[in-house]
Amino acid sequence: MTRPGSPDAYYRRAKSQGYAARSVFKLQEMDRRYGLLRPGQAVLDLGCHPGSWLQFASQKVGRSGRLVGVDLQEPGVSMPQGSCFIQADLLELTAAEVQERSGVEVFDLVLSDVAPHTTGIKDRDAAASLELSQAALDMALALLKPGGSFLAKVFFGPGVEDLIRQVKGAFKLGKAHKPDASRSASKEIYILGRGLKQARPG
């Protein structure tokens, strides 16, 4: 059995395959299941440090794709060609700033693996995660093309059902998913929205 905090099989696999974090296997699984990433897409990755989602997404979108990463901290990997990094607090960043700083007007996919700095106080951590995930959804609704998709992590707690309802209302398909690579002790789930019904007027 893997002790909490000790390197688990996903961690060792990520290291051996040159990925910056074990989180890559969550995105890989959800991409396999839901077909999120495709060549040529413009993808916004919120909470992109240390960079494993950027690494995986860049392989999938290829040279014709565009990747924009946002985080408080710079990625630990070099940014793939054709991508850009915005160092910012998601809670303060506006959609117009993303467009201006990246040069990308609209996105096919908005990913958010943003996680707050945890305190160990369950309700406080869940509230902080919900605030970040709501900000990610607001950003996605402002920047996605009609038909675009959204995938965001949130710690399960009060208010998450409402977030899922918002996603179900805005997208043709809305659902929650817990990937295999997510530690069973973790409260995190991922909310997926596929096929934005209508872009928010600008």
Ligand X SMILES: C[S@@+](CC[C@H](N)C(=O)[O-])C[C@H]1O[C@@H](n2cnc3c(N)ncnc32)[C@H](O)[C@@H]1O
CB of 184 to ligand X, least distance (A): 17
Candidates 26, 60, 145, 153; catalytic one: 153
Tell me whether residue 46 or residue 164 sits nearer to ligand X (CB atom).
46
- The enclosing H or E element of 195 equals strand 188-196
CB of 45 to ligand X, least distance (A): 7
Q: Where are the alpha helices (DSSP H) in the chain?
A: 9-16, 24-34, 52-61, 95-102, 122-143, 160-170
Angstrom CA distances, 107 to 2, 141, 168, 182, 187, stand at: 39, 10, 19, 26, 29
Tell me whether residue 48 or residue 167 sits nearer to ligand X (CB atom).
48
> b/e string for 83-105 if b means 16 or more Cβ within 10 A?
bebbebebeebebeebbebbebe
Tell me whether residue 53 or residue 107 sits nearer to ligand X (CB atom).
53
Contact residues: ligand X, CB under 6 A: 20-21, 23-24, 47-53, 70-73, 89-91, 113-116, 132
The set of residues, in sequence order, having a beta carbon less than 8 Å from that of 153 and lying 6+ positions away, is 47, 112, 113, 114, 115, 129, 133, 188, 189, 190
Q: Are strands 83-87 and 66-71 parallel, antiparallel or unpaired?
A: parallel
Tell me whether residue 24 or residue 67 sits nearer to ligand X (CB atom).
24
CB of 115 to ligand X, least distance (A): 4
Q: Is 178 a catalytic site residue?
A: no
Q: What are the residue numbers of the active site? A: 153
